[in-house]
């Protein structure tokens, strides 16, 4: 398994990458939230790229769209356009959960039905995934590690079938990441 780097938004994303990819160097956090401009996010990614060793040729960037006016795809394109001149020969894989990383969890309807509610239907990307997951969990709020492990237990293939934002990310992955093919 080749070594990759990951630039992530927060603790949940960091725990998820560590739990699903064995050989990874992780840098966090990317500042994010509805009031953080795309330019600030781009600068943070560029700063992180400059700190990553030259022996790493693949970098995963993982963050939430939050409540930005840009949709996930437009946000990815803005980031890509902003960082491409500065990333050299590295391959960059940008995953933007629309709206929160929890959306990728609840997009696995089969897993949600087996764990929480046999009639659950994914409301779609852009919904408040964290709130939906908390409601499914009987009001229980999950910490970053528990959320990451729940995402790890979900099928990326099933989730991607319901979540266009995850589908775009998974389709771009061209290295050996077992979770991405689960």
Report, as ranges of residue numbers, the positions in the chain whose pLDDT lies below 70.
none
Q: What long-range pairs does 28-34 form, CB within 8 A, spacing at least 24?
A: 30/61, 30/63, 32/63, 32/64, 32/66, 33/66, 34/66, 34/67, 34/68
**CA atoms 65, 14, 141, 110: torsion sign:** positive
Structure confidence by residue, pLDDT tens digits, 67-104: 998 999 999 999 999 999 888 889 999 999 999 999 99
| pLDDT (0 to 100) of residue 104 | 98
Of the chain, the end-to-end C-alpha distance in Å amounts to 17
Other CB atoms closer than 10 Å to residue 98's CB: what's the count? 25
To which residue do tokens 């999950």 refer?
142
């Amino acid at each position: 398994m080749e070594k990759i780097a990951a630039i992530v938004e927060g603790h949940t994303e960091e725990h998820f990458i560590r739990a699903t990819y064995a050989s990874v160097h992780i840098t966090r956090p990317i500042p994010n939230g509805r009031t953080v401009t795309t330019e600030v996010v781009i600068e943070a990614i560029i700063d992180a790229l400059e700190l990553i060793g030259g022996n790493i040729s693949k970098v995963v960037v993982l963050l939430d769209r939050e409540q930005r006016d840009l949709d996930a795809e437009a946000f990815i394109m803005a980031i890509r356009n902003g960082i491409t001149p500065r990333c050299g020969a590295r391959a960059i894989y940008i995953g933007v959960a629309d709206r929160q990383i929890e959306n990728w969890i609840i997009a696995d309807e089969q897993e949600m039905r087996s764990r929480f509610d046999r009639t659950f239907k994914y409301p779609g990307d852009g919904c408040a995934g964290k709130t939906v997951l908390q409601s499914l969990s009987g009001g229980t709020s999950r910490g970053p590690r528990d959320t990451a492990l729940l995402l790890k237990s979900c099928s990326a293939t099933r989730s991607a079938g319901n979540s266009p934002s995850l589908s775009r990310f998974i389709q771009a992955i061209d290295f050996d990441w077992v979770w991405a093919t689960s």
